[in-house]
Amino acid sequence: MQMSYAIRCAFYQLLLAALMLVAMLQLLYLSLLSGLHGQEEQDQYFEFFPPSPRSVDQVKAQLRTALASGGVLDASGDYRVYRGLLKTTMDPNDVILATHASVDNLLHLSGLLERWEGPLSVSVFAATKEEAQLATVLAYALSSHCPDMRARVAMHLVCPSRYEAAVPDPREPGEFALLRSCQEVFDKLARVAQPGINYALGTNVSYPNNLLRNLAREGANYALVIDVDMVPSEGLWRGLREMLDQSNQWGGTALVVPAFEIRRARRMPMSKTELLQLYQVGEVRPFYYGLCTPCQAPTNYSRWVNLPEESLLRPAYVVPWQDPWEPFYVAGGKVPTFDERFRQYGFNRISQACELHVAGFDFEVLNEGFLVHKGFKEALKFHPQKEAENQHNKILYRQFKQELKAKYPNSPRRC
């Protein structure tokens, strides 16, 4: 009997020691894991233990928190900014697609989500109190019914400072309460929206495009900043990720994505082969071809369309910046922000490209990727107030170039 009792005691002691050993090994593993350095090890870990996707309730709670804050005023005091109505987790080495839109133009998000496989950030401008309410209801509906929105999209809201956005009441979100799928939300938006040009809002409020651009790319390392009615070529995000992951030599380089515009947007070209077929018959042409040819001409479209076909995305040739080139590009590091004094229409992107050049960035055109704008850009007749603002931007641009001389006194480059 005593022998049996001794055996049992020894067994329990051995079991307890084994459990303690397992616990110590687990603690050691967690300690080693917390000290992992290098993207490769982290990627391997998350391959086996992926982070849990955020629930609808978590996303709605974030929306309520962002709106309850009351927002913050921008530097000018003219606009109220609500950051993070929707948030997304992002690899610091990822490439984010940053865009901006009026509320009516949010319907373009559906096409962007289909083409861009990576994270997307959109800044929304609501010119009136009613639009601000619609924007919050839309964010609520999209976060409820669109898994891609919850997983990959960050959304911010800007409205005139005299307005405050309100948390949507789930009992009274209008007709959006009856919707049951992501497609239904976009279909409903298409019926109620009046899409058009962001800066032709029909109000006395100026569209703060550069404030919206800065907000959308905030916190990103690499970003491609585009207009919301543009569509990237298929696989562009993946090609950029592979290229950037293979080398760290792209600091100080702006990787230019050639931009085009299509006459009819019923079917957007996916590959360069499809694009060139439409280009040859005049259905596709260089961006701004009929509005400001010099604004895109340095891209050297004749050279680009004659490049040999390749499977891998890479820089094909270097282009020196010249005024008034305003390319769409991917760049990381200390990228100058957009000057938020430029509003409405005119010189808002040229000014940032100009500073990028003076700051020492080089421009290299990518061989395969591209952007396509929906519809041909044509000359517009502005309301007298808008035309006056365009002239104001022209004067501001001259002043801006003088300011760059003081900001970069040692730079040999000038605009």
* Rounded Cα gap, residues 165 and 168, in angstroms: 9
How many degrees, rounded to 5, is the angle at CA 298 between CA 297 and CA 301?
65
- Give the gyration radius of the chain's Cα atoms: 26
What mean pLDDT, rounded, does the chain reach? Answer: 85
pLDDT at 16: 66
In a domain, 17, yes or no: no
pLDDT of residue 346: 87
Nearest to 366 by CA among 321, 322, 413, 303: 303
**Does position 40 have pLDDT exceeding 50, yes or no?**
no
Domain-embedded: residue 38: no
**Could you give the angle at the alpha carbon of 324 between the alpha carbons of 319 and 328, nearest 5°?**
60
- The string of pLDDT tens digits covering residues 355-403 is 999 999 999 999 999 999 999 988 765 455 567 788 899 999 999 999 9
- State the average pLDDT over residues 206-229: 96
CB 265 within 8 Å of CB 195: no
The packing angle between helices 56-68 and 129-145, to 10°, is 160
Asked if the structure places residue 3 within a domain, the reply is no
- pLDDT top residue among 191 and 33: 191
Q: Note whether residue 150 is domain-resident.
A: yes
Structural domain contains residue 286: yes
Say whether both 247 and 166 belong to one domain: no
pLDDT tens digits, residue range 137-182?
889 888 889 999 989 999 999 999 999 998 776 554 566 667 889 9
Based on the domain organization, do 141 and 157 belong to the same domain?
yes
Domain check: are 364 and 281 in the same one? Answer: yes
Residue 29 in this model has a pLDDT that exceeds 70? no
Of 77, 70, 73, 123, nearest in space to 96 by CA: 123
The encoded tokens of residue 103 equal: 């509320």
Q: Looking at the 3D structure of the chain, how many domains does it have?
A: 2
Please enumerate, as own/partner, the contacts of 249-254 that have beta carbons within 8 Å and a separation of 24 or more.
250/331, 250/332, 251/332, 251/333, 252/333, 252/360, 252/361, 252/362, 253/315, 253/331, 253/361, 253/362, 253/363, 253/364, 254/327, 254/329, 254/330, 254/331, 254/356, 254/361, 254/362, 254/363, 254/364
Cα distance between residue 225 and residue 217, in whole Å: 7
DSSP-derived 3-state class of residue 201: coil
Please report the pLDDT score of residue 378 as a whole number: 81
Which pLDDT score is estimated for 236? 98
Which of 228, 259, 293 is where one domain is finished?
A: 228
Are the C-beta atoms of residues 411 and 336 closer than 8 Å to each other? no
pLDDT of 1 strictly over 70: no
**C-alpha–C-alpha distance, residues 116 and 238, integer Å:** 9
Omega before 324 cis (within 30°)? yes
Residue 315 forms beta bridges with which residues? 366
- pLDDT tens, 44-102? 333 333 344 567 788 778 888 888 889 999 999 999 999 999 988 878 789 999 999 99
Residue 280 sits in the same domain as residue 219: no
In this prediction the pTM is: 0.83
Within a domain: 316: yes
Given 163, 198, 228, the domain boundary residue is 228
Q: Which of 185, 209, 228 is at the close of a domain? A: 228
Res 28: pLDDT: 55
Range of the domain at 351: 233-414
Residue at 261 is within a domain: yes
Three-state DSSP class for residue 164: coil
Which pLDDT score, from 0 to 100, does residue 49 have?
A: 34
Query: Residue 367: what pLDDT?
Result: 97
Order across the sheet with 153-160: list the strands.
Answer: 72-73, 79-86, 153-160, 120-125, 95-102, 222-225, 329-331, 253-256, 362-366, 315-319
Residue 24 has pLDDT above 70, yes or no: no
Spatial CA neighbour of 364 closest among 411, 321, 413: 321
- Which pLDDT score, from 0 to 100, does residue 22 have? 57
